[in-house]
Amino acid sequence: MDGTATGLPVLAAGAWGALTGLLLPRAAYRFCVPYGEPWRDRCPAGVHPVRGWLGTAGCGECRGRSDGGTRGETAVLATATALVCAALAAATGSRPELGAWLLLAPVGVLLATVDARVRRLPDPLTLPFAAAALALLGLAALLPEHTGHWPTALCAAPALAAGYFVLHLVNPDGMGFGDVKLAAGSGAVLGWYGWPTVLLGTFAAFLLGALYGGALVLARRADRKTGVPFGPFLLAGTLAGLLTGAFAA
Protein backbone atom coordinates (compact mmCIF):
# COMPACT_ATOMS: atom_id res chain seq x y z
CA MET A 1 0.00 0.00 0.00
CA ASP A 2 1.44 3.37 -1.02
CA GLY A 3 1.78 6.37 1.24
CA THR A 4 -1.22 8.13 -0.28
CA ALA A 5 -3.54 5.20 0.41
CA THR A 6 -2.19 4.94 3.94
CA GLY A 7 -2.49 8.65 4.63
CA LEU A 8 -6.07 9.09 3.44
CA PRO A 9 -7.67 7.27 6.41
CA VAL A 10 -5.53 9.30 8.80
CA LEU A 11 -6.56 12.56 7.14
CA ALA A 12 -10.21 11.49 7.14
CA ALA A 13 -10.01 10.56 10.83
CA GLY A 14 -8.35 13.88 11.60
CA ALA A 15 -11.12 15.72 9.76
CA TRP A 16 -13.73 13.74 11.70
CA GLY A 17 -11.99 14.66 14.95
CA ALA A 18 -11.87 18.34 14.03
CA LEU A 19 -15.56 18.42 13.14
CA THR A 20 -16.65 16.62 16.29
CA GLY A 21 -14.30 18.75 18.38
CA LEU A 22 -16.06 21.85 17.12
CA LEU A 23 -19.27 20.52 18.70
CA LEU A 24 -17.79 20.01 22.19
CA PRO A 25 -17.61 23.55 23.68
CA ARG A 26 -21.29 23.72 24.66
CA ALA A 27 -21.21 20.37 26.42
CA ALA A 28 -17.97 21.34 28.17
CA TYR A 29 -19.51 24.63 29.30
CA ARG A 30 -22.68 22.99 30.60
CA PHE A 31 -20.87 20.16 32.41
CA CYS A 32 -18.14 22.32 33.97
CA VAL A 33 -19.78 23.02 37.32
CA PRO A 34 -18.58 22.06 40.81
CA TYR A 35 -19.76 18.80 42.30
CA GLY A 36 -23.30 18.97 43.64
CA GLU A 37 -24.43 21.79 41.38
CA PRO A 38 -26.85 21.27 38.46
CA TRP A 39 -25.61 21.44 34.90
CA ARG A 40 -25.63 24.93 33.45
CA ASP A 41 -28.76 25.85 31.54
CA ARG A 42 -28.04 29.56 31.00
CA CYS A 43 -25.64 31.24 28.64
CA PRO A 44 -22.35 32.62 30.02
CA ALA A 45 -24.04 35.99 30.46
CA GLY A 46 -26.69 34.29 32.61
CA VAL A 47 -29.49 35.80 30.55
CA HIS A 48 -30.68 33.33 27.93
CA PRO A 49 -31.38 29.60 28.18
CA VAL A 50 -28.87 27.28 26.54
CA ARG A 51 -30.57 24.38 24.80
CA GLY A 52 -28.92 21.24 23.55
CA TRP A 53 -25.43 19.96 24.17
CA LEU A 54 -23.59 20.41 20.89
CA GLY A 55 -22.13 23.56 19.42
CA THR A 56 -20.67 26.77 20.79
CA ALA A 57 -20.93 27.59 24.48
CA GLY A 58 -22.84 30.84 24.04
CA CYS A 59 -26.42 31.20 22.88
CA GLY A 60 -27.39 32.84 19.63
CA GLU A 61 -28.39 36.07 21.31
CA CYS A 62 -25.00 36.45 22.99
CA ARG A 63 -22.90 35.26 20.08
CA GLY A 64 -19.78 37.34 19.77
CA ARG A 65 -19.46 38.13 23.47
CA SER A 66 -16.06 37.39 24.98
CA ASP A 67 -17.59 35.57 27.95
CA GLY A 68 -18.93 32.79 25.75
CA GLY A 69 -17.02 29.83 24.41
CA THR A 70 -13.99 31.58 22.97
CA ARG A 71 -12.56 30.81 19.58
CA GLY A 72 -9.36 29.74 21.28
CA GLU A 73 -11.15 27.16 23.40
CA THR A 74 -13.01 25.83 20.37
CA ALA A 75 -9.76 25.59 18.42
CA VAL A 76 -8.06 23.70 21.26
CA LEU A 77 -10.87 21.15 21.52
CA ALA A 78 -11.03 20.69 17.75
CA THR A 79 -7.26 20.32 17.46
CA ALA A 80 -6.99 17.88 20.37
CA THR A 81 -9.80 15.69 19.04
CA ALA A 82 -8.35 15.78 15.52
CA LEU A 83 -4.91 14.71 16.75
CA VAL A 84 -6.33 11.88 18.86
CA CYS A 85 -8.46 10.56 16.00
CA ALA A 86 -5.60 10.82 13.50
CA ALA A 87 -3.26 8.95 15.85
CA LEU A 88 -5.85 6.22 16.38
CA ALA A 89 -6.30 5.84 12.63
CA ALA A 90 -2.55 5.65 12.07
CA ALA A 91 -2.24 2.91 14.70
CA THR A 92 -5.37 0.92 13.83
CA GLY A 93 -5.42 1.17 10.06
CA SER A 94 -8.58 0.02 8.33
CA ARG A 95 -9.56 -2.57 10.93
CA PRO A 96 -13.22 -2.39 12.01
CA GLU A 97 -12.49 -1.38 15.60
CA LEU A 98 -11.35 2.00 14.27
CA GLY A 99 -15.01 2.96 14.03
CA ALA A 100 -15.40 2.41 17.76
CA TRP A 101 -12.28 4.45 18.56
CA LEU A 102 -13.42 7.38 16.43
CA LEU A 103 -16.84 7.48 18.08
CA LEU A 104 -15.41 7.24 21.59
CA ALA A 105 -12.54 9.70 21.15
CA PRO A 106 -14.60 12.93 21.29
CA VAL A 107 -16.24 11.76 24.52
CA GLY A 108 -12.81 11.08 25.98
CA VAL A 109 -11.61 14.58 25.08
CA LEU A 110 -14.74 16.05 26.65
CA LEU A 111 -14.29 14.05 29.84
CA ALA A 112 -10.64 15.11 30.15
CA THR A 113 -11.63 18.75 29.62
CA VAL A 114 -14.35 18.75 32.27
CA ASP A 115 -12.25 16.93 34.88
CA ALA A 116 -9.26 19.19 34.29
CA ARG A 117 -11.43 22.25 34.89
CA VAL A 118 -13.67 21.30 37.79
CA ARG A 119 -12.41 17.89 39.00
CA ARG A 120 -15.65 16.21 38.06
CA LEU A 121 -16.41 13.27 35.78
CA PRO A 122 -20.14 13.44 34.98
CA ASP A 123 -22.19 10.25 35.22
CA PRO A 124 -24.01 11.07 31.95
CA LEU A 125 -20.63 10.69 30.25
CA THR A 126 -18.70 8.03 32.17
CA LEU A 127 -21.40 5.37 32.37
CA PRO A 128 -22.55 5.62 28.73
CA PHE A 129 -18.88 5.70 27.68
CA ALA A 130 -18.31 2.26 29.18
CA ALA A 131 -21.57 0.85 27.79
CA ALA A 132 -20.92 2.31 24.34
CA ALA A 133 -17.36 0.94 24.30
CA LEU A 134 -18.57 -2.60 24.97
CA ALA A 135 -21.44 -2.31 22.50
CA LEU A 136 -19.31 -0.88 19.69
CA LEU A 137 -16.54 -3.42 20.23
CA GLY A 138 -19.14 -6.18 20.29
CA LEU A 139 -20.23 -5.06 16.83
CA ALA A 140 -16.61 -4.82 15.66
CA ALA A 141 -16.04 -8.40 16.84
CA LEU A 142 -18.70 -9.57 14.38
CA LEU A 143 -16.86 -8.06 11.41
CA PRO A 144 -13.98 -9.68 9.53
CA GLU A 145 -10.37 -8.57 9.98
CA HIS A 146 -10.79 -7.30 13.53
CA THR A 147 -7.78 -7.94 15.75
CA GLY A 148 -9.26 -7.70 19.23
CA HIS A 149 -10.93 -10.00 21.73
CA TRP A 150 -14.34 -8.85 22.93
CA PRO A 151 -14.64 -11.30 25.88
CA THR A 152 -11.43 -9.87 27.33
CA ALA A 153 -12.83 -6.35 26.95
CA LEU A 154 -15.98 -7.49 28.70
CA CYS A 155 -13.96 -8.88 31.63
CA ALA A 156 -11.45 -6.04 31.80
CA ALA A 157 -14.13 -3.36 32.25
CA PRO A 158 -15.35 -4.51 35.70
CA ALA A 159 -11.87 -5.74 36.66
CA LEU A 160 -10.23 -2.35 36.19
CA ALA A 161 -13.17 -0.58 37.81
CA ALA A 162 -12.83 -2.89 40.82
CA GLY A 163 -9.13 -2.08 41.11
CA TYR A 164 -9.85 1.63 41.06
CA PHE A 165 -12.64 1.14 43.57
CA VAL A 166 -10.15 -0.37 46.02
CA LEU A 167 -7.93 2.68 45.55
CA HIS A 168 -10.97 4.88 46.13
CA LEU A 169 -11.69 3.12 49.43
CA VAL A 170 -8.07 3.51 50.52
CA ASN A 171 -7.78 7.18 49.54
CA PRO A 172 -11.11 8.81 48.58
CA ASP A 173 -9.49 12.25 48.28
CA GLY A 174 -6.91 11.00 45.81
CA MET A 175 -9.14 8.74 43.72
CA GLY A 176 -12.70 9.93 43.14
CA PHE A 177 -15.65 7.68 42.43
CA GLY A 178 -15.90 9.27 38.99
CA ASP A 179 -12.47 7.78 38.23
CA VAL A 180 -13.82 4.38 39.23
CA LYS A 181 -16.67 4.65 36.73
CA LEU A 182 -14.39 5.97 34.02
CA ALA A 183 -12.05 3.03 34.64
CA ALA A 184 -14.80 0.69 33.43
CA GLY A 185 -14.71 2.32 30.00
CA SER A 186 -10.93 2.38 30.04
CA GLY A 187 -10.85 -1.32 30.87
CA ALA A 188 -13.21 -2.12 28.02
CA VAL A 189 -11.12 -0.20 25.51
CA LEU A 190 -7.77 -1.56 26.68
CA GLY A 191 -9.09 -5.08 27.14
CA TRP A 192 -9.87 -5.32 23.43
CA TYR A 193 -6.15 -5.82 22.80
CA GLY A 194 -5.58 -8.11 25.77
CA TRP A 195 -4.51 -8.02 29.41
CA PRO A 196 -0.95 -6.79 28.69
CA THR A 197 -2.49 -3.70 27.09
CA VAL A 198 -4.69 -3.20 30.17
CA LEU A 199 -1.61 -3.28 32.38
CA LEU A 200 0.33 -0.98 30.07
CA GLY A 201 -2.45 1.61 29.87
CA THR A 202 -2.98 1.53 33.62
CA PHE A 203 0.73 1.90 34.33
CA ALA A 204 0.97 4.79 31.86
CA ALA A 205 -1.92 6.58 33.57
CA PHE A 206 -0.31 6.43 37.01
CA LEU A 207 3.12 7.31 35.62
CA LEU A 208 1.78 10.40 33.87
CA GLY A 209 -0.13 11.43 36.97
CA ALA A 210 2.94 10.99 39.15
CA LEU A 211 5.13 12.97 36.77
CA TYR A 212 2.62 15.82 36.69
CA GLY A 213 2.26 15.86 40.47
CA GLY A 214 6.03 15.77 40.90
CA ALA A 215 6.45 18.66 38.48
CA LEU A 216 3.93 20.73 40.45
CA VAL A 217 5.80 20.04 43.69
CA LEU A 218 9.15 20.96 42.15
CA ALA A 219 7.63 24.16 40.78
CA ARG A 220 6.25 24.91 44.27
CA ARG A 221 2.73 25.12 42.89
CA ALA A 222 1.52 22.26 45.08
CA ASP A 223 2.56 20.02 47.93
CA ARG A 224 2.30 16.27 48.33
CA LYS A 225 -1.20 16.52 49.75
CA THR A 226 -2.58 18.63 46.91
CA GLY A 227 -5.23 16.79 44.93
CA VAL A 228 -5.11 16.79 41.14
CA PRO A 229 -7.74 15.56 38.68
CA PHE A 230 -6.81 12.04 37.64
CA GLY A 231 -9.27 11.66 34.77
CA PRO A 232 -7.05 13.31 32.14
CA PHE A 233 -4.17 11.01 33.05
CA LEU A 234 -6.42 7.95 33.09
CA LEU A 235 -7.56 8.85 29.59
CA ALA A 236 -4.04 9.72 28.40
CA GLY A 237 -2.77 6.39 29.70
CA THR A 238 -5.65 4.63 27.99
CA LEU A 239 -4.75 6.33 24.73
CA ALA A 240 -1.09 5.36 25.10
CA GLY A 241 -2.00 1.74 25.80
CA LEU A 242 -4.52 1.68 22.98
CA LEU A 243 -2.07 3.05 20.43
CA THR A 244 0.55 0.53 21.50
CA GLY A 245 -1.92 -2.34 21.39
CA ALA A 246 -3.21 -1.31 17.97
CA PHE A 247 0.29 -1.02 16.50
CA ALA A 248 1.24 -4.42 17.91
CA ALA A 249 -1.96 -6.20 16.82
Residues 55-93 have pLDDT tens digits of 887 666 665 554 444 677 889 999 999 999 999 999 999
CA distances, 112 to each of 4, 44, 94, 170 (Å): 33, 21, 27, 24
Alpha-carbon span 144 to 181, nearest angstrom: 31
pLDDT tens-digit readout, 195-235:
999 999 999 999 999 999 888 888 877 766 677 899 999 99
Whether 249 shows a pLDDT value over 50: the answer reads: yes
Buried b or exposed e, range 176-193, using 16+ CB within 10 angstroms: bebbbbbbbbbbbbbbbb
Whether 5 shows a pLDDT value over 70: the answer reads: no
Q: Read off the pLDDT of each residue in 147-161 and give the average, rounded to a whole number.
A: 97
Q: What angle do CA 77, 72, 216 make, to 5 degrees?
A: 75
Shortest CA distance to 111 belongs to which of 92, 94, 124, 100?
124
Length of the chain in residues, anyone? 249
- Please state, for a pLDDT cut of 70, what percent of the chain lies above it: 90
Residue 208: give the domain boundaries.
Answer: 3-248
* Domains identified in the chain, total number: 1
